[in-house]
A and B are shown apart, each in its own frame.
Chain A
Amino acid sequence: MNLLDMASGFTAAHRRFARSAPAICEAMCLEAQFPAILGDIRPEDRFAGRAVWPAIGFRLFSGGDSECMGFYCNRGMIKAELDRKDLPASDRRRWCDLLEYWSPRATFNRIRAADNALERPGLAATVLHGNEFRGPMIGNYVYRASGITLDFSRLLKTGIPGMIARVEKLAASAKSPDARSVYQGMRICLSVLCSVCRFYARQAGAMAMSTIDSRRREELLAMSLDLGAITQRRPKTLSEAIQLFWLYSLVANADNFGRMDVYLAGFYARDLESGRLDEAGALGLLQALWRLIADEIPGWSGRIFVGGLGRPDEQASDRFALLAIEASRTVRKLIPQLSLRWHGGMNPALLDKALDAIGEGCVFPMLYNDEVNVPAMQEVFRVNRAKAEQYVASDCGEFGLDHASLGFPDGNLVLIRALLAALHNGMDPKSGAQAGLRTGTCEELAAFEDLWRAYSHQVEYFTGVIFDRLLPMFRVQEREISALFPAMLTDDCLKRGRGLFSGVRHKGLLIEIYGTINVADSLTAIKREVYDRRAFSLADLVRMVDADFAGFEKERLLLLNAPKYGNDDEAADAMAQRVYSHICEAARANRKRLKLDFCLADLINAGGHVALGREMGALPDGRKAGEPLANANGPSNGRDLGGPTALLNSLVKLRPSAIGGQVQHLKFNREMFRKSRPKLEALLKTYFAGGGSQATIMAVDRDALQQALKEPENHGDLIVRIGGYCERFVALPSELQADIIARTMYD
């Protein structure tokens, strides 16, 4: 079907059911969408299920384009059509009609209208929708819907027929008409899923007929049989289970996959036991799934969790987890982002296997520490231990509870700009415009605590504004989108007869925080040089910073050489702790007021710190204009000079008891994985036992070293082994650096 017919078909369904209950309308639109938009099975596929997203349709969310949320109308795609010279006039008219129809109806536009209708008193007007930070903007926000994982255990245990029976029963006993319509919508969706299965069963069957290669023919026939079987009964084999899981993910737009070992381990174990599959056969299936995920899922998503506390069949799950790590080791794509949960009593083979993979240069699995994260999640989501044991992370690392929460960093706050606002009495130094609150002139900030108070007012004010601005989005999502596929597998939508947004058990908002450590290091430097040593006044400091330290190189170095977070330095780390807990609390303080289950700060900064840094002027921590900001809760680039033990000691001081997500990047020379493996393991275990929440470990090879040669300021933390000992790579004389690079080649 062509683009226009697809869009028209979908729109016709919407027109026809626009007056029905929202859930019914949505379900009927999905019926028009699937299987129409499905892509063909490719020669390398072991499982069916690819999508070609149309110009107009319904999807939970596409991270790539925030307009593609709920009922969407992709203006970019339509514009490309309209720009085509050979477009017949009648088609042009049809497209224009469609645009006109969707303009007031597309979810994004609905949210935008509700957002625009909200008043923006005073400075709140400076917090705008969008992902960019224009000028002095301290905060902004985007409309999104993500951060969910689905209850695939339920799906695979119940099967499609079981789900149908369940939904029908619930519909029959539903008291409210709203709930009944939701159940009826779900019932329609399950039929849609069946027709998707049958569509691919037929396709696979037909392909098998025309395939000469006998092995591929077998595969296609098996695929076709699996697809037929899952419409009839619950899945029995690993390949049936993966097939059902994958198609459901596709129609539900579930981009993160939760605790995969929990829902697939049983199938794997039974197949092994019955002799249906051996390990190599199972690995082949997983590798095929991994490749499919890499093709179909956006690069920042695709989280899969294995390992950890709270899994019903630990032994079988561990076996699956090992297979999953092997799949990541062998497939080597940027996604799925395999994540391994660590705890004191875990099967040591898992960590071993993980470090093997990482040591070979695979960036997965990332490690998560249950001993720290489970108690932290109890606090973050206010749940008991058993529930907290079901934590997962999605996308870049935002925490959630498996199939029970919804929350995504919709807001952004540049913390360091809040400090700059405090230092300028609210003025933007470049434009002179009022960017922040008037919290006092430099002369009025006579003591360090005055400065702290000014800074914290700015932070608390802007945090509140950003959260406020996000509420209209939530309201529209609740009222107008049911997201029936995700809802069916999310606690407690099914029980409550609600759509995803109004039915999910824990719902909240996250704000991504930038420049946290720059704030901490700046405050440490200011406290020391301005308030304690009185090397210069606060006003002088501000002048130097605004001049990008031109003519003040000595002062800049003074500030740069002040203690920095990440070196196990008490003063610097205490300041980081203060800044960190303040922003976490400032975010959390909004929860009650907004009647949400959680309001969290989130420190991940997938790349944003570099882009932001490029635009920003100098900072009081000695950073010059244009240099990257410190990444999330990690030390400023190249400023952690005390080696890994000192860094890890600093990292664990930021206790994650009220945080929506944080990551720690650790780089080691590849050689450490082979030659000093027990020491590396001891390092990690000590870090975890001491309170480390997460570790993304990288084994660095020649390319990374070469990069470090080009940008030494960004690689101060890179450790290499020379002769008998380790050294920071960038601290080495250049001949030696060249030597090491040359030598790593032979590894």
Chain B
Amino acid sequence: MTGAIFDIQRFSIHDGPGIRTTVFFKGCPLNCIWCHNPEGISRAPLLSFRPALCIGCGFCFRTCPAGCHRMEGGKHLFDRERCEACGRCAAECYPGALELVGREESAAEIMREVLRDKAFYDNSGGGLTLSGGEPLMQPDFAFELLCAARDAGLHCCVETCGFAARAALDLVRPKTDLFLFDIKETDRARHAELTGKPNDRILANLRHLHGTGADIILRLPIIPGVNDRPEHFKGIAALARDLPGLKGVEIMPYHQLGENKVGRFGLDQSRRAKASAPEPGVVEGWTGELRRRGVNVLTA
């Protein structure tokens, strides 16, 4: 079978132990206001347009069956409304101003690329990480990929937002060595506000997973001015106390990379958090605060 992915990143060194390759699944049930991979939220492919790279050659005007591209007053206008993301214009855009993000690939194709770095995984205790988007939105495909990776002797991580069907979680669990489980907000109402969904299901899934004895690291995206609240840190500490089998928590400081992408994909800007990366020293402060509350914070 094939799955929808939008990137394969080699030499990924912050998504689990060792040197890894991360496969980014397309599609996510949440919609976080700080999302760092907004192009991964929709399951369907998206056309990325970077006007700065456009040389105005006009190839896309001629290729697009829907007539999405036109030139007006020396400005390249792109009508995203009508775009069906067929990718034809991107194939003709040699400077790379247009790019179709999201593709269907088979597990075998992905594994061919993943296994190129096998020696690096073996020497570093690394392997494969599934991320996204949300890998558990495509449980059968994730399962197939994890089986293939396990057969090849790779260590497997799944990074999840936790908003998934219990069955999906149970399917991938036996083939997963380590879960990187995101906790975005411990307050129920705020969670719904920030991500579009309440967190009950996520927390229930986390407890369930913990109950099965799976290895779990909690990942905390911390966005200055959004969820760097003492109550949230308190909530995390309480959660960690409840789940003694956790391997620890990792702080994921906010960065602005997602900001830039929103424009490229013509996504809705209005909901986005107006945040900036933490100042130097701030992350250390968060770490200290959590540690004081007895949380085992891991540092890279």
Interface string of B224-268 (1 = CB under 8 A from A): 000000000000000000000000001011111101100000000
B1 interface residue per 8 A CB criterion: no
Nearest CB of chain B from residue A643's CB, rounded to whole Å = 4
Chain A residues with CB under 8 Å of B255's CB are 722-724, 736
- List 12 interface pairs A-B (beta carbons < 8 Å), by A numbering: A557-B95, A561-B96, A568-B116, A643-B11, A645-B116, A675-B299, A683-B124, A721-B14, A723-B254, A723-B255, A724-B255, A735-B260
Q: Given contacts A561-B94, A645-B11, A726-B13, is CB(A682)–CB(B277) below 8 Å? A: no
- What is the interface of chain A mostly: helix, strand, loop, or mixed? helix
Judge whether B300 is part of the interface by a CB distance below 8 angstroms: yes
> Shortest 5 CB-CB distances between A and B: which pairs?
A682-B124, A557-B94, A723-B255, A643-B11, A733-B260
Report yes or no: A686 in contact with B124, Cβ–Cβ below 8 A. yes
Q: What mask results when residues 703 to 747 of chain A are scored 1 for a CB within 8 Å of chain B, else 0? A: 000000000000000010111111100001101100100010010
**Complex CA–CA separation, A739 to B11 (angstroms):** 23
How far does the alpha carbon of A644 sit from the alpha carbon of B9 in the complex, in Å? 11
A553 partner, pick from B10, B57, B253, B254, beta carbons under 8 A: B57
Nearest B-chain residue to A643, judged by Cβ: B11
Closest residue of A by beta carbon distance from B279: A743
Contact (Cβ within 8 A) A646 B116 = yes
Q: Nearest residue in B to A745 (C-beta to C-beta)? A: B280
Of B11, B116, B254, most buried by chain A (CB within 10 Å of CB) is: B11
Q: Give A723 to B256 CA distance when docked, in angstroms.
A: 9
The reply to whether A686 and B119 contact each other, CB–CB distance below 8 Å, is yes
Docked complex Cα distance between A355 and B2 (Å):
43
- Establish whether residues B256 and A735, one from each chain, have CB atoms under 8 Å apart when the complex forms: yes
Residues of B with C-beta under 8 A to A685: 123
Asked if B10 contacts A724 (CB within 8 A), the reply is no
Residues of A within 8 A of B252 (CB): 723-724
Q: Complex: how many Å from CA A732 to CA B258?
A: 11
Residues of B107-149 contacting chain A, CB below 8 A: 116-117, 119-120, 122-126
Q: Is the CB of A554 within 8 A of B123?
A: no
The answer to the question of B185 belonging to the interface, with a C-beta cut-off of 8 Å to chain A, is no
Contact pattern, A 406-422, Cβ under 8 Å of B = 1, otherwise 0: 00000000000000000
* Residue of chain A at shortest CB distance from B255: A723
Cross-chain contact A726 with B280 (CB below 8 angstroms): no
Residues in chain B near residue A644, CB distance under 8 A: 11
Flag if B18 contacts A732 (CB, 8 Å): no
CA distance A743 to B277 in the complex (A): 10
Contacts of B15 in A (CB 8 A): 724-725
Contacts A557-B95, A733-B260 given; does A645 touch B10 at CB 8 Å: yes
In the complex, residue of chain B having the shortest beta-carbon distance to the beta carbon of A684:
B123
Given A561-B96, A675-B299, 13 extra CB contacts under 8 A:
A553-B94, A646-B10, A675-B300, A689-B119, A690-B119, A722-B255, A723-B257, A733-B260, A735-B256, A736-B256, A736-B257, A739-B256, A746-B280
* Residue A678 interfacial (CB < 8 Å): yes
Q: Which residues on B sit within 8 Å (CB–CB) of A646?
A: 10-11, 116-117
CA distance A674 to B101 in the complex (A): 34
CB neighbours (8 Å) of A722 from chain B are 255, 257
Chain B residues within an 8 Å CB radius of A726: 11-14
A645 and B113 alpha carbons, distance in the complex (Å): 12
**B123:A725 contact, CB within 8 angstroms:** no
A39 interfacial contact with B, CB 8 Å: no
| A733 surroundings in chain B (CB, below 8 A) | 256-257, 259-260
B94 touches A679 (CB 8 A): no
Chain B residue numbers with a CB within 8 Å of A725 are 9, 12-15
How far is B14's CA from A553's CA once the two chains are assembled, in angstroms?
39
A643, B119: Cα distance in complex, Å: 15
Residues of A at the B interface (CB closer than 8 Å) are 553-554, 557-558, 561, 568, 642-646, 649, 672, 675-676, 678-679, 682-683, 685-686, 689-690, 719, 721-727, 732-733, 735-736, 739, 743, 746
The answer to whether A678 and B124 touch (CB under 8 A), given A643-B11, A725-B15, is yes
Inter-chain contacts of A558 with B (CB < 8 A): 94
A residues near B280, Cβ cutoff 8 Å:
743, 746
The B126-175 residues at the A interface (CB cut-off 8 A) are: 126
Complex CA gap A686/B19 in Å reads 11
B contact residues, total (Cβ < 8 Å):
39
User: Which B residue's beta carbon lies closest to that of A652?
Assistant: B119
Measured between C-beta atoms, what is the minimum distance from B69 to chain A in Å? Answer: 16
B189 on the A face (CB < 8 A):
no
Q: How far is the CB of B109 from chain A (nearest CB, A)?
A: 14
The CA-CA distance from A682 to B281 in the complex, in Å, is 29
Residues 1-53 of B at the A interface (beta carbon under 8 Å): 9-15, 18-19, 36
**Interface flags, B275-299, vs A, CB<8A=1, else 0:** 0010011000000000000000001
User: In the complex, what residue of chain B is closest to A678 when comparing beta carbons?
Assistant: B124
Chain A proximity of B48: nearest CB distance (Å): 13
> Nearest Cβ in chain B — how far from A675, in angstroms?
5
Rounded to whole angstroms, the CA-CA distance of A685 and B126 in the bound complex is 14
If A554-B59, A676-B300, A726-B13 touch, does A645 touch B256 (CB 8 Å cutoff)?
A: no
Question: Which chain B residues lie closer than 8 Å to A672 at the CB level?
Answer: 13
Residue of A at shortest CB range from B8?
A: A642
Contact B18–A682 (Cβ < 8 Å): yes
B86 at the interface (CB under 8 A from A): no
Using CB atoms, name the residue of chain A closest to B124.
A682
A620 CB to nearest chain B CB (Å): 16
Contact A642 B257 (CB under 8 A): no
Task: Say yes or no: A645 contacts B120, CB within 8 Å.
Answer: yes
CA distance A464 to B255 in the complex (A): 57
Q: A554–B94 contact, CB under 8 A?
A: yes
A679, B10: Cβ atoms closer than 8 Å: no
B233–chain A nearest beta-carbon distance, Å: 19
Q: Check if B77 is an interface residue, CB within 8 A of chain A.
A: no
CB <8 Å contact, A679 and B116: no
| Contact among B19, B36, B119 with A679 in the assembled complex (CB-CB below 8 Å) | B19
Decide: A686 and B120 in contact? CB cutoff 8 A.
Answer: yes
Q: How far is the CB of B161 from chain A (nearest CB, A)?
A: 15
Q: How far is the CA of A568 from the CA of B256 in the complex (A)?
A: 30
B117 touches A645 (CB 8 A): yes
A727–B12 CA distance with the chains assembled, in angstroms? 9
Instruction: Say yes or no: is B55 at the interface (Cβ < 8 Å to chain A).
Output: yes
Measured CB to CB, the nearest residue on chain A to B94 is A557
Give Cα distance in the complex from A642 to B19, angstroms: 14
CA distance A6 to B19 in the complex (A): 63
Instruction: Name the one of B55, B117, B124 contacting A649, with C-beta atoms under 8 angstroms.
Output: B117
Q: Does A679 contact B18, Cβ atoms closer than 8 Å?
A: yes
Mark contacts of B94-107 with chain A using CB atoms, 8 A cut-off: 1 yes-contact digit, 0 otherwise: 11100000000000
B119 near A642: Cβ-Cβ < 8 Å: no
Residue of B19, B55, B260 contacting most chain A CB atoms (<10 Å): B19
Least CB distance, B284 to chain A, in whole angstroms: 11
A568 to B96 CA separation, bound complex (whole angstroms): 21
Give CA–CA (A721, B13) in the complex, Å: 10
Bound-state Cα–Cα, A721 to B15, Å? 13
CB neighbours (8 Å) of A568 from chain B are 116
Smallest beta-carbon distance B24→chain A, Å: 11
Q: Are A683 and B120 in contact (CB under 8 A)?
A: yes
Give the residues in chain B near A736, CB-CB below 8 Å: 255-257, 260
Q: Whole-angstrom distance from the CB of B32 to the nearest CB of chain A?
A: 14
CB distance from B249 to the nearest CB of A (A): 13
Which of B36, B117, B120, B277 meets A739, CB within 8 Å? B277
Residues of B within 8 A of A732 (CB): 257
Give the Cβ gap from B281 to chain A, nearest Cβ, in Å. 8
Contact A682 B120 (CB under 8 A): yes
Bound: A725/B94 CA distance, A:
28
Q: A6 to B256, alpha carbons, bound, how many Å?
A: 68
B271 to chain A, nearest CB (A): 20
Please tell me if the beta carbons of A682 and B123 are within 8 angstroms of each other in the complex: yes
User: How many whole Å from B259's CB to the nearest CB in chain A?
Assistant: 8
Complex formed: what's the CA distance from A141 to B94 in Å? Answer: 41
Question: What residue in chain A is nearest B253 (Cβ atoms)?
Answer: A723
Residue of B nearest to A676 (CB): B13
Distance in angstroms between the alpha carbons of A731 and B19 in the assembled complex: 21
**Contact partners of A645 in chain B: CB under 8 A:** 10-11, 19, 116-117, 120
